[in-house]
Amino acid sequence: GSRSSKTFKPKKNIPEGSHQYELLKHAEATLGSGNLRQAVMLPEGEDLNEWIAVNTVDFFNQINMLYGTITEFCTESSCPVMSAGPRYEYHWADGTNIKKPIKCSAPKYIDYLMTWVQDQLDDETLFPSKIGVPFPKNFMSVAKTILKRLFRVYAHIYHQHFDSVMRLQEEAHLNTSFKHFIFFVQEFNLIDRRELAPLHELIEKLGSKDR
């Protein structure tokens, strides 16, 4: 397939005709308006959990595609540790299979991370796709953990692979995706400020253009 259609993991589809599919369509339509601060707001009368679920799936798909474009540059030798610049290094643990955080290469970390996210998204008890099936009580904390981890993939791409992104002329795509992601997590206070520190300057810059 062509470069642009290469995803790192299989795309997570939202069933057509479902309410979540309608919400996703709504999100895409409002994004087209160009006002991202407005586009991320909870649509009137909608359930917050469902809005967060639909957008989380969408961000997973976007990051999946963005990372898919640069996987050949993110290797065991180029990225022996999962970092976001010299000051931030991430060790992997998922609390079930790997309880004690392990130091591993970026490609391995991102593989663990995206597989873990995929397992959460595929779990009907966490992300119910059927109408009327309630979200679990711990849904918000699960969503926060997913988004916190997805942020790390953006941070790694920006810090370690931005030159490759530029060469592939994907920077507008990356910036738009990240800006949407940041505005979304800011709107609902989903990621702790400390966790966002590796891209603090970029986040400030993206926000100031919209005030």
Residues annotated in a binding site: 74, 79, 156, 161
CA torsion angle for 54, 124, 142, 199 (degrees, to 10)?
Answer: -40
CA torsion angle for 13, 18, 19, 22 (degrees, to 10)?
Answer: 70
Task: Output the CA torsion sign for 76, 93, 52, 204.
Answer: negative
Instruction: List strand residue ranges (DSSP E) for 42-176, in order.
Output: 82-83, 89-90
Q: How many CB atoms lie within 10 A of CB 181?
A: 23
Task: Report d(CA 197, CA 35) in Å as an integer.
Answer: 25
* Backbone torsions φ then ψ of 92, nearest 5 degrees: -90, 135
Binding residues for Zn(2+): 74, 79, 156, 161
- The set of long-range contacts for 93-97, using a CB threshold of 8 Å and a minimum separation of 24, is none
Q: Which two tokens stand for residue 85?
A: 């610049």
